[in-house]
């Protein structure tokens, strides 16, 4: 496949993934769909790290824009443009890895919730075994269904970040090929110029 077309495909795919990541992180700030817990600072610590918003969101969205433009505007014929796409794809990998790490911690530690009269993280030392024991979720009386809420959104962030790492990694390889071996656009331009030259010679 042309390195430019590959970049275009990767950029298009990264856009929605980055938006999904940012959206999930924002929603995590509002368990039970209420702002009360944010105001009272009763939010799970991993949510505050904003892995999905900063890492899987902003740090992937900016590379996604450049990668997409690399294919859309024909920058794939420009070796400097392809080199920049490698650097930005590496930034995307770093952002996705951050999002991945925060998601893993969020799933591992479990949510902050009210147990009795205390706000604690009751599943912090359960090694994520609580995810299989749904009966234990009932110990969190507030926010309502917070375990299901947090585990669902952190799971989405987990899988999205893996896809982002894979796609940005592919773009790094794709960009390297574009820098070292040239691009299909280079070949197409050469063929086009040869056709024009041949036509001119025959006409003369």
Average pLDDT over residues 60-87: 78
Average pLDDT over residues 48-69: 93
Q: What is the pLDDT of residue 80?
A: 75
* Residue found by looking up tokens 């050469």 in the block: 190
Is the N-terminal amide bond of 121 cis, ω within 30° of 0? no
- Helical (H) or strand (E) element with 113: strand 113-115
- Helical (H) or strand (E) element with 118: strand 118-120
Q: What is the pLDDT of residue 78?
A: 64
> Helix 3-28 crosses helix 184-203 at what angle (to 10 degrees)?
150
Domain ranges of the chain: 3-203
Give the pLDDT confidence of 95-108 residue by residue, as tens digits: 999 999 999 999 99
Bridge-based pairing of strands 118-120 and 113-115 is antiparallel
Nearest one of 164, 147, 173, 7 to 77, comparing CA atoms: 7
Nearest one of 182, 131, 167 to 3, comparing CA atoms: 182
């Amino acid at each position: 496949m042309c390195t430019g077309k590959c970049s275009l495909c990767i950029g298009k795919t990264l856009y929605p993934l980055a938006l999904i990541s940012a959206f999930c992180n924002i929603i995590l700030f509002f368990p039970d769909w209420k702002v009360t817990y944010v105001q009272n600072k009763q939010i799970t610590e991993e949510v505050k790290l904003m892995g999905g918003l900063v890492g899987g969101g902003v740090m992937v969205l900016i590379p996604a824009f450049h990668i997409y433009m690399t294919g859309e505007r024909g920058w794939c014929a420009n070796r400097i443009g392809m080199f920049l796409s490698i650097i930005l794809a590496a930034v995307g990998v770093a952002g996705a890895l951050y999002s991945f790490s925060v998601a893993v911690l969020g799933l591992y530690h479990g949510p902050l919730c009210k147990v009795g009269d205390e706000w604690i993280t009751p599943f912090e030392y359960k090694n994520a075994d609580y995810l299989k024991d749904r009966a234990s979720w009932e110990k969190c009386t507030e926010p309502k269904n917070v375990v299901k809420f947090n585990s669902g959104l952190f799971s989405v962030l987990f899988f999205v970040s893996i896809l982002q790492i894979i796609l940005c990694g592919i773009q790094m390889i794709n960009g390297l090929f574009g820098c070292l071996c040239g691009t299909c656009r280079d070949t197409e331009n050469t063929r086009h110029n040869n056709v024009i030259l041949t036509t001119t010679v025959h006409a003369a």
